[in-house]
Amino acid sequence: MQPSSFSSFSAKNFCRRIHYHRNQIQPIERPCDVFINHRGSDTKRTISGLLYDHLLRLGLNPFLDSKNMKPGDRLFDKINTAIRHCEVGVAVFSPHYCESYFCLHELALLMESRKKVVPIFYDVKPSQLQVRDDGTCSNKDLQRFKWALEEAKYTVGITFDSLHGDWSEFLTTTTDAVIKNLIEEDH
C-alpha cells in the first residue's frame, strides 16, 4: 500500500463495517452519518453533490437536502432531525453562504449539538465569511449564527479553489477527513 495520512484500505474497511452494522439493525429510516451543510445555489451541482455521491459509494449514509428530501417533507423537521442524529457535519462555505438563513441555522445547530464539523472553504477565505444583519433575523438568531460561524472559521478545514483545484484530490482528502472523524466518534 502507498503511504498516506490515512490509507484507503482503512477507509474501505471502516465503511464496510458501518454498512454491515447498519444493515443488521434494519431501521425504517437510517440516521445519516454525514450531514452536508451547503448553499445549494453555489455548490449543489458541484462540490456538495460530488461529495454526497462519493460518500454514498463508500457505503456511508450522507444527507444532502436535494437527495434526501421529497415533496411534502417538513423542511425544519427533516433537516433538524438529520443534524441531531448525524455523526459528523461538513460545512461547505462558499461566496454566498452567509446570505442564507437556512445555511446559518444548520451550522448553528451542528455547533450547538457539539458535532464534529469539517469546514470546506470553497472559493472563499474564512476571513471573508461574515453574518450581516439584513433585518430579517432576530437578535437571538444573529448571535447564534455569528457564534457558530466563528467556531467554524477557527476549526481546521480544507480549502478548495474550483478553477485551479484538483477535484479528485479534494474528494480523497475530504473523504479521509470525514472518515477519520467518524472513526473518532465511533470510539
Pairing mode, if any, of strands 116-122 and 158-160? parallel
C-beta separation of 41 from 92 below 8 A: no
29, 99, 106, 150: the active-site residue:
106
C-beta separation of 101 from 136 below 8 A: yes
Integer Rg of the chain from CA? 16
C-beta separation of 51 from 93 below 8 A: no
Based on the residue annotation, tell me whether 151 is a catalytic residue of this protein: no
| Nine-digit cell string for 10 | 482503512
Name the β-bridge partners of 13. Answer: none
Query: What's CA 64's distance to the chain center, in Å?
Result: 8
| Nine-digit cell string for 50 | 460530488
Give catalytic residue positions.
106
